[in-house]
Amino acid sequence: MAVHTVRSLATHLHTGTSRNISPSHRNPNAAIRLSYRSPKLRRFISVSSSLREGNEHGKENSVRALEVKNIPEESPLLPKALSSNQLAEPVSNGSRVRVAYQGVRGAYSESAAEKAYPNCEAVPCEEFDTAFEAVERWLVDRAVLPIENSLGGSIHRNYDLLLRHNLHIVGEVKLAVRHCLLANHGVNLVDLRRVLSHPQALAQCENTLTRLGLVREAVDDTAGAAKLIALEGLSDAAAVASAKAAEIYGLSVVAEDIQDESDNVTRFLMLAREPIIPGTNKLFKTSIVFSLEEGPGVLFKALAVFALRQINLTKMESRPLRKTPLRASGGLKYFDYLFYVDFEASMADEVAQNALRHLEEFATFLRVLGSYPVDTTML
């Protein structure tokens, strides 16, 4: 695999991305026009959509979502989340910053988006993939997506999507998560037999839910669980979600702060089509991904390029290299990995640039995902 060269700072940070929409996906009866502005470019693009999109093999993409029937147009449960087969529909009715997040109204990701971009137009998406694509197709300006939680660990899906899509990390935001047990009015703890929520939320409340003897059922997101409980009028089930979700969907809070640890914090990444120009006037963090040849001490050498320059690593995550998951060496087969690393330095610093030039000498692949300000606040 060829090494991706770490280019000069100005060249690297101004590299744009573009995606073409296949003609096979176009429906002439569903064409819309989207406008966007860029410091380098002003133009209008005609975008067409079809009711279902296909992948490169011609197969239709399935949309995993809770099916809701007979919801009146004026229902407070609307708007529905943007799905993958609606990506060519306009989602903004004003000039506010449009920010995509995964989930429905009341999701923790919505709160993170509003913290990252106050007064934004938060746009719900059914899938993490949908949020990435919405940014790439100019339907929204930013996406705010979870990457790790202090109790549940990393959200591996989003690590994989960072490499699959050509977006840049332009910031981070940390959100304190306070889980509540939500049920329909009149339902008490003794009436409950099961609990619905996102797998991460269920894991973060494992001790409490075990003590209550509730059967756990995983759904796509926390607020989606609350929405389902309300729509179905369930009397034997509760949702693990936020107090905000209870207000939106008309549920009662049966129990508060049910997470196993009080310090339950989720870190979100802010994603954009263009990178920001890093500075040195505040604390910056840089995220990269790289792969290495198999051999003794190779990972040690990779980490040494930072240690030798007194650069602090704050996060390291390994993920399988999907196209070549196994490699043969000496008659044995090994897993092949990508390494995601966050370190405390700005790409405007010469020491960080030198570290990546050093790493480039023996890395088989190297990509800078973003250089952005560190979030030092906490909700």
Q: Please indicate, yes or no, whether residues 187 and 47 belong to a single structural domain of this protein.
A: no
Query: Do the domain assignments include residue 277?
Result: no
Domain boundary among 272, 304, 334: 272
Q: Please indicate, yes or no, whether residues 339 and 226 belong to a single structural domain of this protein.
A: no
**How many structural domains compose the chain?**
3
| Annotated catalytic residue 15 | no
Query: Do the domain assignments include residue 260?
Result: no
Query: Do the domain assignments include residue 131?
Result: yes
| Annotated catalytic residue 266 | yes
pLDDT in tens, 289-328: 999 988 889 999 999 999 999 999 999 999 988 766 556 5
Q: What is the 3-state secondary structure (H, E, C) of the chain?
A: CCCCCCCCHHHHHCCCCCCCCCHHHCCHHHCEEEEEECCCCEEEEEECCCCCCECCCCCECCCCCCCCCCCCCCCCCCCCCECHHHCCCCCCCCCCCEEEEECCCCCHHHHHHHHHCCCCEEEEECCHHHHHHHHHCCCCCEEEEEEEECCCEECHHHHHHHHHCCCEEEEEEEEECCCEEEECCCCCHHHCCEEEECHHHHHHCHHHHHHHCCEEEECCCHHHHHHHHHHHCCCCEEEEECHHHHHHHCCEEEECCCCCCCCCEEEEEEEECCCCCCCCCCCEEEEEEEEECCCCCHHHHHHHHHHCCCCCEEEEEEEECCCCCEEEECCEEEECEEEEEEECCCCCCHHHHHHHHHHHCCEEEEEEEEEEECCCCCC
Catalytic hit among 268, 290, 306, 339: 268
Domain boundary among 203, 238, 272: 272
Query: Do the domain assignments include residue 4?
Result: no
Residues of the chain falling short of pLDDT 50 = 1-79, 83-94
Query: Do the domain assignments include residue 261?
Result: no
Q: Residue 337 is part of a domain; what is its CATH number? A: 3.30.70.260
Q: Please indicate, yes or no, whether residues 165 and 192 belong to a single structural domain of this protein.
A: no
Q: Please indicate, yes or no, whether residues 68 and 89 belong to a single structural domain of this protein.
A: yes
Q: Please indicate, yes or no, whether residues 293 and 219 belong to a single structural domain of this protein.
A: no
Q: Please indicate, yes or no, whether residues 17 and 130 belong to a single structural domain of this protein.
A: yes
pLDDT at 320: 86
Catalytic hit among 130, 208, 222, 266: 266
Domain boundary among 272, 302, 332: 272
pTM over 0.85: no
Q: Please indicate, yes or no, whether residues 163 and 214 belong to a single structural domain of this protein.
A: no
Query: Do the domain assignments include residue 3?
Result: no
Query: Do the domain assignments include residue 1?
Result: no
pLDDT at 81: 56
Q: Residue 199 is part of a domain; what is its CATH number? A: 3.40.190.10
Q: Please indicate, yes or no, whether residues 21 and 167 belong to a single structural domain of this protein.
A: yes
pLDDT at 325: 53
Domain that holds residue 307: 284-373
Query: Do the domain assignments include residue 188?
Result: yes
Q: Please indicate, yes or no, whether residues 134 and 229 belong to a single structural domain of this protein.
A: no
Q: Please indicate, yes or no, whether residues 86 and 209 belong to a single structural domain of this protein.
A: no
Q: Please indicate, yes or no, whether residues 250 and 366 belong to a single structural domain of this protein.
A: no
Q: Please indicate, yes or no, whether residues 65 and 136 belong to a single structural domain of this protein.
A: yes
